[in-house]
A and B are shown apart, each in its own frame.
Chain A
Amino acid sequence: DTGVSQDPRHKITKRGQNVTFRCDPISEHNRLYWYRQTLGQGPEFLTYFQNEAQLEKSRLLSDRFSAERPKGSFSTLEIQRTEQGDSAMYLCASSFLGMQAPNTIYFGEGSWLTVV
């Protein structure tokens, strides 16, 4: 049973460029989450999907950010016109909607973004 997988693990980009991160959740999980973590802070919620529907977006998710989960499996998080303040680790997590492990989310290894 593979865990949550994220790609790329590290990305360095110039300010103004677009970047896209991909997340493959644990196969039987129907919920998928994106979080952002900066140094010395806990993960901050960005958005989550149940199957292909995006059910909630944080105010942290500005118009330059867009997340999709087109077939209810993998998800992408795109950041357009990156700014230095976008430098962070972007974490993907997934969970199973059910009573087996209620509300328990399992994280991937994260994608580090550095905007120079």
Chain B
Amino acid sequence: AQKVTQAQTEISVVEKEDVTLDCVYETRDTTYYLFWYKQPPSGELVFLIRRNSFDEQNEISGRYSWNFQKSTSSFNFTITASQVVDSAVYFCALSEAAFNTGGFKTIFGAGTRLFVKA
């Protein structure tokens, strides 16, 4: 069965600090996708990144970077030089790439609420 664990419920940082959000996942599939979504106070979940299980290359997008390590089943998200606008709930998610009618649902962790103080 799939499972996503985000052990950090809330994190509070001061603007310009770096912050890492942890994500640990469980799956029995060898082919799967990992995601991060951002949910600002307005409520809409915004897609940030997708990673497939065959691509362990870390990715950087501006102040955001992601560290995928299959050996530890982790997909951590780092925000460098955090800003107040980064305050939101961040969700890690997992989707198994099952090529039958029962596949493709995406499951989410419980989320990490990030507060960035000015």
Contact = CB atoms under 8 A, between A and B. Distances in A.
> Is A bound to B?
yes
Interface of A: 31, 33, 40-45, 48, 50, 55-56, 89, 91, 93, 95, 101-110, 112
Contact of B104 (A101, A103, A108): A103
A103 B33 contact: yes
Contacts of A48: 104-105
Of the four ranges (under 10, 10 to 19, 20 to 34, 35 or more), the interface on chain B belongs to 20 to 34
B42 interface: yes
Contacts of A106: 47
Interface string B39-67: 00011111100101000000000000000
Nearest to A31: B104
B50 A104 contact: yes
Interface of B: 4, 33, 35, 37, 42-47, 50, 52, 91, 93, 95, 97, 101-102, 104-111
Dominant secondary structure at the A interface = strand
A41 B108 CA distance: 9
A91 B106 CA distance: 13
Nearest to B92: A42
A5 B20 CA distance: 32
A110 B105 contact: no
